[in-house]
Amino acid sequence: MKRKYYPNNWAAISSCPASYFPEMLYEDFEDWKIYGYQLPSSHFGIVRVEDMDTGKIEEYTYKSEHHTKQRMKKEMVKKNTRVTLATMEGVYHLLPNPLDFNNP
């Protein structure tokens, strides 16, 4: 099954002169893009699941907290996965294997 094509404006952006893109320091870029992310107001969060065996990454977006929690419960049962949850409150990196403090 062929995936739906989402049009983009890469040709228009690549043909723009360099003066349209002001230079900035890496620290400013990092603060803007990494620490200043924003989710649309219509979405609650993004769940990113990485399979540690195959390296395959899947991302799921949810508009409600309830559905996000359902996905998190489903993914945390699986072994050898790394789950990242991004909400407007923060970014959380989770592993499905709980720490066992009784067995060093």
Residue 47 counted as domain residue:
yes
Q: Residue 67's pLDDT is what?
A: 96
In a domain, 33, yes or no: no
Amino acid at 25: L
Q: How many domains does the structure of the chain reveal?
A: 1
* Bridge partner residues of 61 (DSSP): 46
| Residue range 8-63, pLDDT digits in tens | 888 888 899 989 888 999 999 888 887 777 888 899 999 999 999 999 999 999 99
Residue 51 burial by Cβ neighbours in a 10 Å radius (0-12, 13-18, 19+): middle
Does any domain span residue 79?
yes
Element at 85 (helix H, strand E) = strand 81-87
pLDDT at 25: 93
Is residue 74 assigned to a domain?
yes
| Model confidence pLDDT, tens digit, residues 54-91 | 999 999 999 999 999 999 999 888 888 999 999 988 88
Looking at residue 95, its pLDDT comes to: 80
> What pLDDT, on the 0 to 100 scale, is given for residue 17?
92
Residue 49 lies in a domain: yes
CA distances (Å), origin 58, targets 22, 28, 35, 61 = 33, 29, 22, 10
pLDDT in the model for residue 58: 95
User: What domain range includes position 90?
Assistant: 39-104
Q: Kindly state whether residue 64 falls inside one of the protein's structural domains.
A: yes
Report if residue 9 sits inside a domain: no
